[in-house]
Amino acid sequence: MKRYFYFFLIVVLMGSLLMGCGPDAPADTDPGADPGTEPAGDPIVLSAVGFLPQDNLMSRLFFELDANLQEMTDGQVSIRWAGGPEAIPGWEQPDAVASGVVDIAMVSGAYFKDQEPVMSGLNMTPFTPTEEREKGVFDFFAEKTKNVGFNLLMRGDYEVHTYFWSVDKYESPRDMRGEPFRSDPRVNMVLRDLGLDPVIIDMTDVYPALERGVVVGGSHPTIIVTPMGLHEIYNYAYEPPFMGSATIIIMNPDSYGQMPEDLRQKFDEAVLKTEQEYLERTFVEEYNKFMDPFLDDGGEIVTWTGEDADWYIETAHKALWDEIMELDPEAAQELMSLFGVDY
């Protein structure tokens, strides 16, 4: 972890030296300014990392937010993309934010489920980001995020669904029982309770694992399948999806608190604008296109219905809630109340 910190610290220090030594560096004072007016400070540049590469649709959110920030603050606040998982591995990005090496990160709420198990409950939200704010869901998760040392800025995606994918066709979810499917700690309990044989494999190793027959399927969001070329091997995807995504944007509290109050207000307004104009509109439109390469390659969407679909969804959701309920029953009950669901 230290090597990433040193790398970014060196970059930040070099950038500061160059800005300070440049011929156009702003003067500390303006002789012609009104003595009662506080001079404007230097522009604030916030560094950001994400657990996905720069060209991923989710990562584009940073560039949309940056554009809104620069417009709404007249260039006084901006965001600089500092890298994806190639710079700092996803699981280490919260530490980079906590230490101030970077200011903002896009991570999964599941990264914090050891400290705040209920964070993974974002996978099952029935609301839009705007509705989450209106119904108190955002405040609930903001408080939980604060408990682990971060500010919650916004959701990192919307309408991203997790499906089962396979090489061979299963007419019923019960037909998958005993089959080796790629898994990860986020969904392991779901595959287990559905009767599959969960095999934990890093996403970068899924393609060769499918080629060798180590696994015959997996559970992934569409936004992961297409960029990683898995649609070339998978022949079937299954609806309905069994959960969404818990991606969130977190920020170092000091980085947020040190902004002047007027800029913090504009920063918050830019976040809301990005959430409504990008996440709930453009993002969804672009995300819906991610299934096209799979279908163009001859892939088929199998829709489970009736008793099969009911058993599959109820089993999956119970597995997800069971984990949260076991670790933090009070928070689980509160979140279910906010979601309007029964356990």
Residues 240 and 250 in one domain: no
**210 and 64 co-located in one domain:** no
Q: CATH code at 75?
A: 3.40.190.170
| Domain span at 183 | 162-244+292-339
Tell me which of 32-36, 51-55, 111-115, 269-273 is least confident.
Answer: 32-36
pLDDT band, very low/low/confident/very high, at 263 (cuts 50, 70, 90): very high
Residue 204 has pLDDT above 90, yes or no: no
Judged against a pLDDT cut of 60, whether residue 11 lies above it is answered with no
Q: Are residues 150 and 207 in the same domain?
A: no
Q: State pLDDT tens for residues 280-309.
A: 999 999 998 999 999 999 999 999 999 999
If asked whether residues 188 and 148 sit together in one domain, one would say no
Structural domain includes residue 198:
yes
CB-CB contact of 200 with 183 (8 Å): yes
92 and 103 in a single domain? The answer is: yes
Residue 39 domain-assigned (yes or no): no
Query: Do 147 and 56 share a structural domain?
Result: yes
| pLDDT at residue 129 greater than cutoff 80 | yes
Q: What is the pLDDT of residues 182-200, one digit of tens each?
A: 998 788 999 999 999 999 9
In a shared domain, residues 64 and 137: yes
| Statement to judge: residues 201 and 283 lie in one domain | no
pLDDT per position as a tens digit, 314-332 = 999 999 999 999 999 999 9
- pTM (2 decimals)? 0.81
214-254: pLDDT as tens digits: 999 999 998 889 888 999 999 999 999 999 988 999 999 99
Same domain, 204 and 237: yes
Give me the number of domains the chain comprises.
2
What does 157-179 look like in DSSP terms, one character per residue? -SS--EEEEESS--SSGGGGTT-
Which are the contacts of 74, defined by CB distance < 8 A and separation ≥ 6?
Answer: none
Does residue 53 sit in the same domain as residue 200? no
| 176 and 314 belong to one structural domain | yes
Structure tokens at 105: 């990160």
Rounded CA-CA distance 108/17 in Å is: 34
